[in-house]
Amino acid sequence: MKKIVLVIATAAMAVMAQAGGLLHNTNQHIDFVRMMARGASNEIDAVYSNPAGIAFMENDGWTLSLNIHSAYQTRDIDATVMTPAGLGLFPDDTYHKKYEGTASAPVIPSVYAAYKTPKWAISGYLGVVGGGGKATFDYGLPLFDVGVMAGLYQGTASLAPVLGGPVTPNQYTLDSYMRGKQYIFGGQVGFSYKFNEHFSGYAGMRVNYFNGSYVGHVNATANEALATKFQQISIAAPAYASVLMPMAAENGLAHIAIDYTQTGWGVTPILGVNYKWRGLTLAAKYEFKTALKIENDTKTLDAPAGFEEKLEPYAHGVNTPNDLPSVLYVAAGYEFIPKKLRGTIEYHYYDDRHAEMAGGKNKELTHGTHEFLAGVEWDINKIFTVSAGVQRTDYGLSDKYQSNTSFSCDSYSIGLGGAVNVSKNVKINVGYFWTTYSDYKKEMPASEGGYNGVSAMLPGTDVYSRTNKVFGMGVDFRF
Protein backbone atom coordinates (compact mmCIF):
# COMPACT_ATOMS: atom_id res chain seq x y z
CA MET A 1 0.00 0.00 0.00
CA LYS A 2 2.90 2.35 0.61
CA LYS A 3 3.76 2.42 -3.09
CA ILE A 4 0.29 3.39 -4.24
CA VAL A 5 0.08 6.27 -1.75
CA LEU A 6 3.23 7.77 -3.19
CA VAL A 7 2.13 7.36 -6.79
CA ILE A 8 -1.26 9.01 -6.45
CA ALA A 9 0.43 11.93 -4.76
CA THR A 10 2.90 12.33 -7.62
CA ALA A 11 0.07 12.58 -10.14
CA ALA A 12 0.78 16.30 -10.03
CA MET A 13 3.12 15.67 -12.93
CA ALA A 14 0.27 14.77 -15.31
CA VAL A 15 0.20 17.45 -17.99
CA MET A 16 -1.50 17.98 -21.28
CA ALA A 17 1.30 18.86 -23.69
CA GLN A 18 0.68 20.93 -26.79
CA ALA A 19 2.91 21.49 -29.80
CA GLY A 20 6.37 22.25 -28.49
CA GLY A 21 8.75 20.70 -25.98
CA LEU A 22 7.85 18.74 -22.86
CA LEU A 23 6.64 21.85 -21.03
CA HIS A 24 6.04 24.47 -23.74
CA ASN A 25 3.01 25.31 -25.84
CA THR A 26 4.16 26.82 -29.16
CA ASN A 27 0.82 26.90 -30.97
CA GLN A 28 0.12 30.40 -29.71
CA HIS A 29 -1.19 31.90 -32.96
CA ILE A 30 -3.44 30.43 -35.64
CA ASP A 31 -0.72 31.08 -38.22
CA PHE A 32 1.28 28.34 -36.48
CA VAL A 33 -1.67 25.94 -36.52
CA ARG A 34 -2.05 26.32 -40.29
CA MET A 35 1.65 26.48 -41.28
CA MET A 36 3.71 25.15 -38.30
CA ALA A 37 7.02 26.80 -39.25
CA ARG A 38 6.65 30.49 -38.32
CA GLY A 39 10.13 31.29 -37.06
CA ALA A 40 10.83 33.66 -40.00
CA SER A 41 7.52 35.51 -39.80
CA ASN A 42 7.36 39.30 -40.06
CA GLU A 43 3.64 39.43 -39.27
CA ILE A 44 1.86 39.89 -35.93
CA ASP A 45 2.40 36.25 -34.87
CA ALA A 46 6.13 37.06 -34.85
CA VAL A 47 5.57 38.63 -31.41
CA TYR A 48 5.99 35.04 -30.17
CA SER A 49 7.70 33.15 -33.01
CA ASN A 50 10.21 35.78 -34.22
CA PRO A 51 9.98 38.94 -32.09
CA ALA A 52 12.89 40.69 -33.80
CA GLY A 53 10.95 40.37 -37.06
CA ILE A 54 8.23 42.73 -35.76
CA ALA A 55 10.56 45.57 -36.79
CA PHE A 56 9.99 44.50 -40.42
CA MET A 57 6.19 44.37 -40.34
CA GLU A 58 4.72 46.11 -43.36
CA ASN A 59 2.35 48.47 -41.60
CA ASP A 60 3.28 51.12 -39.04
CA GLY A 61 1.01 51.84 -36.11
CA TRP A 62 -1.04 49.35 -34.10
CA THR A 63 -1.70 45.70 -34.95
CA LEU A 64 -3.91 43.52 -32.74
CA SER A 65 -4.56 39.76 -32.98
CA LEU A 66 -7.17 37.69 -31.12
CA ASN A 67 -6.91 33.88 -31.25
CA ILE A 68 -8.79 30.90 -29.84
CA HIS A 69 -7.63 27.28 -29.99
CA SER A 70 -9.60 24.18 -29.10
CA ALA A 71 -7.58 21.04 -28.35
CA TYR A 72 -8.48 17.43 -27.64
CA GLN A 73 -6.18 14.55 -26.75
CA THR A 74 -6.38 10.94 -25.73
CA ARG A 75 -3.72 9.41 -23.48
CA ASP A 76 -3.92 5.64 -23.20
CA ILE A 77 -1.92 3.09 -21.22
CA ASP A 78 -2.05 -0.58 -22.20
CA ALA A 79 -0.81 -2.42 -19.12
CA THR A 80 0.31 -6.03 -18.84
CA VAL A 81 1.49 -7.52 -15.53
CA MET A 82 2.70 -11.10 -15.01
CA THR A 83 2.96 -13.15 -11.82
CA PRO A 84 4.83 -16.37 -11.08
CA ALA A 85 2.79 -19.46 -11.90
CA GLY A 86 0.58 -20.52 -9.04
CA LEU A 87 0.86 -17.28 -7.04
CA GLY A 88 -2.90 -16.79 -7.44
CA LEU A 89 -2.94 -12.99 -7.49
CA PHE A 90 -4.41 -12.71 -11.01
CA PRO A 91 -6.49 -15.22 -13.02
CA ASP A 92 -4.21 -17.10 -15.44
CA ASP A 93 -1.28 -15.33 -13.68
CA THR A 94 -1.65 -12.28 -15.97
CA TYR A 95 -3.30 -8.88 -15.60
CA HIS A 96 -4.03 -6.99 -18.81
CA LYS A 97 -6.14 -3.86 -19.21
CA LYS A 98 -6.19 -0.73 -21.36
CA TYR A 99 -6.69 2.48 -19.40
CA GLU A 100 -8.10 5.34 -21.46
CA GLY A 101 -7.58 8.96 -20.57
CA THR A 102 -8.87 12.14 -22.17
CA ALA A 103 -7.38 15.62 -22.08
CA SER A 104 -9.25 18.64 -23.35
CA ALA A 105 -8.87 22.39 -23.55
CA PRO A 106 -11.99 23.73 -25.29
CA VAL A 107 -10.81 27.35 -25.19
CA ILE A 108 -7.14 28.36 -25.26
CA PRO A 109 -7.03 32.12 -25.91
CA SER A 110 -4.12 34.33 -26.88
CA VAL A 111 -3.89 38.07 -27.53
CA TYR A 112 -1.13 39.82 -29.49
CA ALA A 113 -0.44 43.53 -29.84
CA ALA A 114 2.32 45.58 -31.46
CA TYR A 115 3.01 49.23 -32.15
CA LYS A 116 5.54 49.85 -34.91
CA THR A 117 7.39 52.88 -36.29
CA PRO A 118 9.88 52.88 -39.21
CA LYS A 119 12.79 52.15 -36.81
CA TRP A 120 11.42 50.43 -33.71
CA ALA A 121 8.48 48.48 -32.33
CA ILE A 122 7.08 47.51 -28.96
CA SER A 123 5.06 44.34 -28.67
CA GLY A 124 3.48 41.91 -26.25
CA TYR A 125 1.08 39.04 -25.85
CA LEU A 126 -0.95 37.07 -23.32
CA GLY A 127 -1.49 33.33 -23.69
CA VAL A 128 -1.16 29.83 -22.29
CA VAL A 129 2.53 29.08 -22.74
CA GLY A 130 2.52 25.63 -21.17
CA GLY A 131 0.26 22.91 -19.83
CA GLY A 132 -2.87 23.73 -21.70
CA GLY A 133 -5.80 21.78 -20.28
CA LYS A 134 -7.27 18.98 -18.23
CA ALA A 135 -6.48 15.26 -18.18
CA THR A 136 -8.94 12.73 -16.78
CA PHE A 137 -8.62 8.99 -16.22
CA ASP A 138 -12.13 7.94 -15.20
CA TYR A 139 -10.93 4.49 -14.16
CA GLY A 140 -7.66 5.57 -12.63
CA LEU A 141 -4.25 4.39 -13.75
CA PRO A 142 -2.82 0.85 -13.88
CA LEU A 143 -0.18 1.62 -11.29
CA PHE A 144 -2.93 2.60 -8.85
CA ASP A 145 -4.82 -0.64 -9.42
CA VAL A 146 -1.84 -2.98 -9.50
CA GLY A 147 -0.37 -1.33 -6.41
CA VAL A 148 -3.56 -1.80 -4.43
CA MET A 149 -4.09 -5.38 -5.63
CA ALA A 150 -0.53 -6.36 -4.79
CA GLY A 151 -0.66 -4.49 -1.49
CA LEU A 152 -3.86 -6.22 -0.40
CA TYR A 153 -2.52 -9.64 -1.41
CA GLN A 154 0.71 -9.18 0.48
CA GLY A 155 -0.92 -7.41 3.42
CA THR A 156 -3.43 -10.20 4.03
CA ALA A 157 -0.98 -13.08 3.55
CA SER A 158 -0.61 -13.35 7.34
CA LEU A 159 -4.39 -13.90 7.56
CA ALA A 160 -4.35 -16.73 5.03
CA PRO A 161 -4.74 -19.49 7.68
CA VAL A 162 -7.93 -17.80 8.85
CA LEU A 163 -9.30 -16.56 5.50
CA GLY A 164 -8.29 -19.59 3.47
CA GLY A 165 -5.78 -17.53 1.47
CA PRO A 166 -4.76 -13.91 0.82
CA VAL A 167 -7.36 -11.44 -0.50
CA THR A 168 -7.45 -11.48 -4.32
CA PRO A 169 -9.01 -9.04 -6.85
CA ASN A 170 -12.08 -11.23 -7.44
CA GLN A 171 -13.07 -10.67 -3.81
CA TYR A 172 -13.51 -6.88 -3.93
CA THR A 173 -14.41 -3.95 -6.14
CA LEU A 174 -11.81 -1.34 -7.00
CA ASP A 175 -12.69 2.29 -7.63
CA SER A 176 -9.89 4.55 -8.82
CA TYR A 177 -9.95 7.97 -10.47
CA MET A 178 -7.50 10.70 -11.43
CA ARG A 179 -8.05 14.21 -12.75
CA GLY A 180 -5.40 16.84 -13.28
CA LYS A 181 -5.50 20.39 -14.61
CA GLN A 182 -2.41 22.40 -15.44
CA TYR A 183 -1.89 25.78 -17.07
CA ILE A 184 1.12 28.06 -17.39
CA PHE A 185 -0.12 31.54 -18.28
CA GLY A 186 2.37 33.92 -19.86
CA GLY A 187 2.53 37.67 -20.40
CA GLN A 188 5.33 38.92 -22.66
CA VAL A 189 6.55 42.41 -23.49
CA GLY A 190 9.58 43.46 -25.53
CA PHE A 191 11.28 46.00 -27.77
CA SER A 192 12.44 45.49 -31.37
CA TYR A 193 14.82 47.79 -33.21
CA LYS A 194 15.75 47.98 -36.91
CA PHE A 195 19.47 48.80 -37.11
CA ASN A 196 19.42 49.04 -40.90
CA GLU A 197 17.44 47.76 -43.88
CA HIS A 198 18.70 44.21 -43.27
CA PHE A 199 19.11 43.65 -39.54
CA SER A 200 16.97 43.96 -36.41
CA GLY A 201 17.18 42.81 -32.81
CA TYR A 202 14.86 42.18 -29.89
CA ALA A 203 15.02 42.14 -26.10
CA GLY A 204 12.09 41.27 -23.88
CA MET A 205 10.76 39.19 -21.04
CA ARG A 206 7.84 36.93 -20.21
CA VAL A 207 6.25 36.49 -16.81
CA ASN A 208 4.92 32.93 -16.33
CA TYR A 209 2.25 31.96 -13.79
CA PHE A 210 1.70 28.27 -13.04
CA ASN A 211 -1.70 27.03 -11.85
CA GLY A 212 -2.55 23.36 -11.42
CA SER A 213 -5.06 21.26 -9.51
CA TYR A 214 -5.15 17.51 -8.90
CA VAL A 215 -7.85 15.25 -7.50
CA GLY A 216 -7.62 11.48 -7.18
CA HIS A 217 -8.65 8.50 -5.12
CA VAL A 218 -8.25 4.74 -4.82
CA ASN A 219 -10.92 2.80 -2.92
CA ALA A 220 -11.28 -0.96 -2.45
CA THR A 221 -14.46 -2.46 -0.99
CA ALA A 222 -14.96 -6.12 -0.09
CA ASN A 223 -17.70 -7.87 -2.06
CA GLU A 224 -20.64 -9.34 -0.21
CA ALA A 225 -19.10 -12.80 0.14
CA LEU A 226 -15.81 -11.48 1.56
CA ALA A 227 -17.52 -8.99 3.87
CA THR A 228 -19.73 -11.81 5.21
CA LYS A 229 -16.64 -13.98 5.77
CA PHE A 230 -14.97 -11.15 7.72
CA GLN A 231 -18.05 -10.82 9.92
CA GLN A 232 -18.41 -14.57 10.51
CA ILE A 233 -14.75 -14.96 11.46
CA SER A 234 -14.98 -11.95 13.78
CA ILE A 235 -17.87 -13.60 15.63
CA ALA A 236 -16.25 -17.03 15.77
CA ALA A 237 -12.81 -15.69 16.67
CA PRO A 238 -13.21 -12.31 18.44
CA ALA A 239 -9.44 -11.81 18.50
CA TYR A 240 -9.61 -10.99 14.77
CA ALA A 241 -12.60 -8.64 15.01
CA SER A 242 -10.55 -5.45 15.42
CA VAL A 243 -8.74 -6.25 12.16
CA LEU A 244 -11.47 -7.79 10.03
CA MET A 245 -14.57 -5.75 10.85
CA PRO A 246 -13.14 -2.43 9.58
CA MET A 247 -12.13 -4.27 6.37
CA ALA A 248 -15.76 -5.33 5.86
CA ALA A 249 -16.94 -1.70 5.65
CA GLU A 250 -17.22 0.36 2.45
CA ASN A 251 -13.71 1.34 1.27
CA GLY A 252 -12.45 -0.72 4.21
CA LEU A 253 -9.76 -2.56 2.26
CA ALA A 254 -8.16 0.60 0.89
CA HIS A 255 -8.91 4.32 1.01
CA ILE A 256 -6.50 6.87 -0.40
CA ALA A 257 -7.52 10.35 -1.54
CA ILE A 258 -5.75 13.52 -2.54
CA ASP A 259 -6.94 16.99 -3.50
CA TYR A 260 -4.50 19.85 -3.90
CA THR A 261 -3.50 22.79 -6.07
CA GLN A 262 -0.11 24.20 -7.01
CA THR A 263 0.85 27.73 -7.97
CA GLY A 264 4.09 29.53 -8.77
CA TRP A 265 5.70 32.02 -11.10
CA GLY A 266 8.96 32.79 -12.90
CA VAL A 267 10.47 35.23 -15.40
CA THR A 268 11.92 34.34 -18.81
CA PRO A 269 14.40 36.76 -20.46
CA ILE A 270 14.20 36.62 -24.29
CA LEU A 271 16.57 37.77 -27.04
CA GLY A 272 16.06 37.68 -30.81
CA VAL A 273 17.67 38.64 -34.11
CA ASN A 274 16.32 38.93 -37.65
CA TYR A 275 18.16 39.37 -40.97
CA LYS A 276 16.48 40.16 -44.29
CA TRP A 277 18.10 40.22 -47.69
CA ARG A 278 15.87 40.33 -50.76
CA GLY A 279 13.53 37.33 -50.38
CA LEU A 280 15.57 35.65 -47.65
CA THR A 281 14.87 35.91 -43.92
CA LEU A 282 17.14 34.39 -41.27
CA ALA A 283 15.94 34.58 -37.68
CA ALA A 284 16.70 33.28 -34.22
CA LYS A 285 15.18 33.55 -30.75
CA TYR A 286 16.64 32.43 -27.43
CA GLU A 287 14.63 32.00 -24.22
CA PHE A 288 16.69 31.64 -21.06
CA LYS A 289 15.91 28.95 -18.50
CA THR A 290 13.11 29.94 -16.13
CA ALA A 291 13.46 28.97 -12.49
CA LEU A 292 9.91 28.04 -11.48
CA LYS A 293 8.96 26.80 -8.02
CA ILE A 294 5.40 25.67 -7.42
CA GLU A 295 3.81 25.63 -3.96
CA ASN A 296 1.24 23.15 -2.64
CA ASP A 297 -2.15 24.20 -1.31
CA THR A 298 -3.34 20.83 0.01
CA LYS A 299 -6.99 20.33 0.96
CA THR A 300 -7.10 16.53 1.26
CA LEU A 301 -4.34 14.01 1.91
CA ASP A 302 -5.97 10.83 3.19
CA ALA A 303 -3.88 7.69 3.60
CA PRO A 304 -3.27 4.97 6.18
CA ALA A 305 -1.43 5.97 9.36
CA GLY A 306 2.34 5.74 9.26
CA PHE A 307 2.85 7.40 5.88
CA GLU A 308 3.29 10.97 7.15
CA GLU A 309 7.02 11.12 6.34
CA LYS A 310 6.54 9.72 2.85
CA LEU A 311 3.82 12.25 2.10
CA GLU A 312 5.75 15.30 3.28
CA PRO A 313 6.55 16.48 -0.31
CA TYR A 314 2.80 16.84 -0.94
CA ALA A 315 1.88 18.56 2.31
CA HIS A 316 0.48 22.06 2.41
CA GLY A 317 3.07 24.77 1.70
CA VAL A 318 5.78 22.55 0.21
CA ASN A 319 7.62 23.84 -2.90
CA THR A 320 8.53 21.69 -5.92
CA PRO A 321 10.81 22.61 -8.88
CA ASN A 322 9.13 22.88 -12.29
CA ASP A 323 11.62 24.88 -14.39
CA LEU A 324 10.96 25.89 -17.97
CA PRO A 325 14.05 24.96 -20.04
CA SER A 326 16.11 27.33 -22.13
CA VAL A 327 14.99 27.25 -25.77
CA LEU A 328 16.71 28.07 -29.06
CA TYR A 329 14.67 28.70 -32.23
CA VAL A 330 16.38 29.21 -35.59
CA ALA A 331 14.61 29.60 -38.92
CA ALA A 332 15.17 30.41 -42.58
CA GLY A 333 12.38 31.71 -44.77
CA TYR A 334 12.37 32.50 -48.48
CA GLU A 335 9.93 34.16 -50.87
CA PHE A 336 9.98 32.01 -53.97
CA ILE A 337 7.53 34.36 -55.65
CA PRO A 338 7.49 37.85 -54.09
CA LYS A 339 4.21 38.61 -52.30
CA LYS A 340 2.89 35.26 -53.50
CA LEU A 341 4.66 32.06 -52.43
CA ARG A 342 6.96 31.60 -49.43
CA GLY A 343 8.36 28.78 -47.38
CA THR A 344 10.18 28.29 -44.06
CA ILE A 345 12.35 25.63 -42.47
CA GLU A 346 12.98 25.74 -38.75
CA TYR A 347 14.68 24.04 -35.80
CA HIS A 348 13.89 24.19 -32.06
CA TYR A 349 16.02 22.91 -29.21
CA TYR A 350 14.66 22.63 -25.64
CA ASP A 351 17.37 21.99 -23.03
CA ASP A 352 15.07 19.83 -20.89
CA ARG A 353 17.87 17.88 -19.21
CA HIS A 354 19.04 21.03 -17.40
CA ALA A 355 15.60 22.26 -16.34
CA GLU A 356 14.98 20.96 -12.84
CA MET A 357 11.92 18.75 -12.35
CA ALA A 358 10.53 17.11 -9.23
CA GLY A 359 12.73 14.25 -8.09
CA GLY A 360 15.42 15.11 -10.65
CA LYS A 361 13.37 13.42 -13.35
CA ASN A 362 14.95 15.62 -16.04
CA LYS A 363 18.23 13.73 -15.63
CA GLU A 364 16.59 10.56 -16.94
CA LEU A 365 16.18 12.07 -20.43
CA THR A 366 18.78 10.97 -22.96
CA HIS A 367 18.88 14.44 -24.56
CA GLY A 368 16.92 17.67 -24.86
CA THR A 369 13.98 17.98 -27.23
CA HIS A 370 14.70 18.40 -30.94
CA GLU A 371 12.01 19.78 -33.26
CA PHE A 372 12.20 20.13 -37.04
CA LEU A 373 9.57 22.15 -38.89
CA ALA A 374 8.77 23.14 -42.45
CA GLY A 375 5.88 25.10 -43.94
CA VAL A 376 4.66 26.84 -47.07
CA GLU A 377 2.18 29.65 -47.63
CA TRP A 378 0.57 30.74 -50.90
CA ASP A 379 -1.43 33.89 -51.56
CA ILE A 380 -3.96 32.75 -54.14
CA ASN A 381 -4.97 36.36 -54.66
CA LYS A 382 -5.31 39.52 -52.57
CA ILE A 383 -8.13 37.95 -50.54
CA PHE A 384 -7.33 34.25 -49.98
CA THR A 385 -4.23 32.55 -48.57
CA VAL A 386 -3.64 28.85 -47.97
CA SER A 387 -0.83 27.17 -46.04
CA ALA A 388 0.41 23.84 -44.71
CA GLY A 389 3.29 22.57 -42.60
CA VAL A 390 4.85 19.66 -40.74
CA GLN A 391 6.68 19.20 -37.46
CA ARG A 392 8.81 16.35 -36.12
CA THR A 393 9.40 16.14 -32.33
CA ASP A 394 12.05 13.94 -30.65
CA TYR A 395 12.04 14.13 -26.84
CA GLY A 396 14.96 11.90 -25.81
CA LEU A 397 12.71 9.65 -23.71
CA SER A 398 13.78 6.73 -21.52
CA ASP A 399 12.06 4.04 -19.47
CA LYS A 400 13.09 5.74 -16.25
CA TYR A 401 11.61 9.05 -17.38
CA GLN A 402 8.25 7.63 -18.48
CA SER A 403 5.56 6.94 -15.91
CA ASN A 404 1.80 6.42 -15.66
CA THR A 405 1.39 9.93 -14.32
CA SER A 406 3.60 11.69 -16.89
CA PHE A 407 4.50 10.25 -20.26
CA SER A 408 5.30 11.61 -23.69
CA CYS A 409 5.64 10.10 -27.17
CA ASP A 410 7.72 11.23 -30.14
CA SER A 411 5.53 12.55 -32.91
CA TYR A 412 4.81 14.04 -36.31
CA SER A 413 2.32 16.90 -36.69
CA ILE A 414 0.64 18.20 -39.83
CA GLY A 415 -1.09 21.55 -40.00
CA LEU A 416 -3.16 23.23 -42.69
CA GLY A 417 -5.54 26.11 -43.10
CA GLY A 418 -5.86 29.53 -44.61
CA ALA A 419 -6.58 33.20 -44.21
CA VAL A 420 -9.12 35.64 -45.65
CA ASN A 421 -8.38 39.34 -45.98
CA VAL A 422 -11.84 40.67 -45.22
CA SER A 423 -10.57 44.20 -45.76
CA LYS A 424 -7.28 46.07 -45.85
CA ASN A 425 -7.22 46.14 -42.06
CA VAL A 426 -8.90 42.85 -41.07
CA LYS A 427 -7.70 39.28 -41.65
CA ILE A 428 -9.32 36.04 -40.45
CA ASN A 429 -7.12 32.97 -39.87
CA VAL A 430 -8.39 29.39 -39.62
CA GLY A 431 -6.24 26.33 -38.98
CA TYR A 432 -6.28 22.67 -37.97
CA PHE A 433 -3.48 20.33 -37.03
CA TRP A 434 -3.26 16.78 -35.81
CA THR A 435 -0.42 14.76 -34.37
CA THR A 436 0.57 11.17 -35.02
CA TYR A 437 2.47 9.68 -32.08
CA SER A 438 4.84 6.73 -31.91
CA ASP A 439 3.76 4.30 -29.20
CA TYR A 440 6.28 3.94 -26.39
CA LYS A 441 6.76 0.54 -24.77
CA LYS A 442 8.21 0.54 -21.27
CA GLU A 443 9.70 -2.76 -20.11
CA MET A 444 9.81 -3.45 -16.35
CA PRO A 445 11.55 -6.78 -15.63
CA ALA A 446 11.73 -8.36 -12.19
CA SER A 447 15.46 -7.55 -12.04
CA GLU A 448 14.56 -3.82 -12.02
CA GLY A 449 11.86 -3.98 -9.36
CA GLY A 450 9.00 -5.27 -11.47
CA TYR A 451 5.94 -3.38 -12.66
CA ASN A 452 6.60 0.29 -11.84
CA GLY A 453 8.48 -0.84 -8.74
CA VAL A 454 5.35 -2.28 -7.09
CA SER A 455 6.99 -5.68 -6.54
CA ALA A 456 9.84 -7.66 -8.05
CA MET A 457 7.35 -10.54 -8.16
CA LEU A 458 5.35 -8.64 -10.79
CA PRO A 459 7.26 -7.95 -14.03
CA GLY A 460 5.28 -6.19 -16.74
CA THR A 461 5.04 -3.67 -19.56
CA ASP A 462 3.23 -0.42 -20.30
CA VAL A 463 2.49 0.75 -23.83
CA TYR A 464 1.85 4.50 -23.91
CA SER A 465 -0.12 5.97 -26.81
CA ARG A 466 -1.60 9.37 -27.58
CA THR A 467 -3.64 11.34 -30.10
CA ASN A 468 -3.94 15.09 -30.53
CA LYS A 469 -6.19 17.38 -32.56
CA VAL A 470 -6.26 21.18 -32.48
CA PHE A 471 -8.59 23.61 -34.25
CA GLY A 472 -8.14 27.36 -34.14
CA MET A 473 -9.56 30.62 -35.41
CA GLY A 474 -8.27 34.17 -35.06
CA VAL A 475 -8.68 37.73 -36.27
CA ASP A 476 -5.90 40.26 -36.97
CA PHE A 477 -6.66 43.98 -36.94
CA ARG A 478 -4.51 46.83 -38.26
CA PHE A 479 -5.05 50.40 -37.14
pLDDT tens digit sequence for 176-193: 999 888 889 999 999 999
Q: Is the pLDDT of residue 175 over 60?
A: yes
CB 46 within 8 A of CB 57: yes
Q: Determine the pLDDT at residue 135.
A: 84
Q: What is the 3-state secondary structure (H, E, C) of the chain?
A: CHHHHHHHHHHHHCCCCCCCCCCCCCCCCHHHHHHCCCCCCCCCCHHHHCHHHHHHCCCCEEEEEEEEEEEEEEEEEEEEEECCCCCCCCHHHEEEEEEEEEEEEEEEEEEEEEEECCCEEEEEEEEEEEEEEEEEECCCCHHHHHHHHHHHHHHCHHHHHHHCCCCCHHHEEEEEEEEEEEEEEEEEEEEEEECCCCEEEEEEEEEEEEEEEEEEEEEEEECHHHHHHHHHHHHHCHHHHHHHHHHHCCCCCEEEEEEEEEEEEEEEEEEEEEEEECCEEEEEEEECCECCEEEEEEEEEECCCCCCCCCHHHCCCCEEECCECCEEEEEEEEEEECCCEEEEEEEEEECHHHCCCHHHHHHHCCCCEEEEEEEEEEECCCCEEEEEEEEEEECCCCCCCCECCECCCCEEEEEEEEEEEEECCEEEEEEEEEEEECCEEEEECHHHCCHHHCCCCCCEEEEEEEEEEEEEEEEEEEC
Q: Is the pLDDT of residue 305 over 80?
A: no
For helices 2-9 and 142-155, the axis angle rounded to 10 degrees is 160
What was the pLDDT predicted at 308? 61
Let me know: does 65 contact 44? Beta carbons within 8 Å: yes
pLDDT of residue 23: 77
> Is pLDDT at 12 greater than 50 in this prediction?
no
Amino acid at 425: N
pLDDT at 309: 65
Average pLDDT of the segment spanning 256-273 = 94
Query: So what's the pLDDT on residue 307?
Result: 62
- Lowest-confidence segment of 281-285, 344-348, 445-449 by average pLDDT: 445-449
* Confidence (pLDDT) at 406: 83
pTM here is: 0.91
Q: For residue 133, is pLDDT > 80?
A: no
Q: What is the pLDDT of residue 16?
A: 44
Q: Which of 110, 234, 253, 287 is nearest to 176 (CA)?
A: 253
Average pLDDT of the chain? 91
- Distance from C-alpha of 433 to C-alpha of 30, rounded to nearest angstrom: 10
Taking the C-alpha atoms of residue 199 and residue 428, their distance in angstroms, rounded to an integer, is: 29
- Mean pLDDT confidence for 102-131: 92
Find the radius of gyration of the CA atoms of the chain. 26
Q: Which of 122-126, 250-254, 290-294 has the highest mean pLDDT?
A: 122-126
- CA-based nearest residue to 135, from 65, 194, 76: 76
pLDDT tens-digit map of 394-451? 999 999 999 888 889 999 999 999 999 999 999 999 999 999 999 999 999 988 889 9
Structural domains for the chain = 2-478 (2.40.160.60)
**Higher-confidence position of 391 and 17:** 391
Most confident of 5-9, 234-238, 267-271, 302-306: 267-271
Q: Percentage of the chain surpassing pLDDT 90?
A: 71
**Residue 389: pLDDT over 90:** yes
The amino acid that residue 394 corresponds to is D
Does position 390 have pLDDT exceeding 90, yes or no? yes
Cα–Cα distance for residue pair 386/379, rounded to 1 Å? 7
Q: Which residue has the higher pLDDT, 11 or 50?
A: 50
Average pLDDT over residues 356-370: 92
- The answer to which of 17-26, 65-74, 81-90 has the lowest mean pLDDT is 17-26
pLDDT score of 18 more than 60: no
Per-residue model confidence (pLDDT) at position 269 = 98
The predicted structure's pLDDT at residue 11: 46
pLDDT, tens digit, 9 for 90 and up, residues 317-338: 999 899 999 999 999 999 999 9
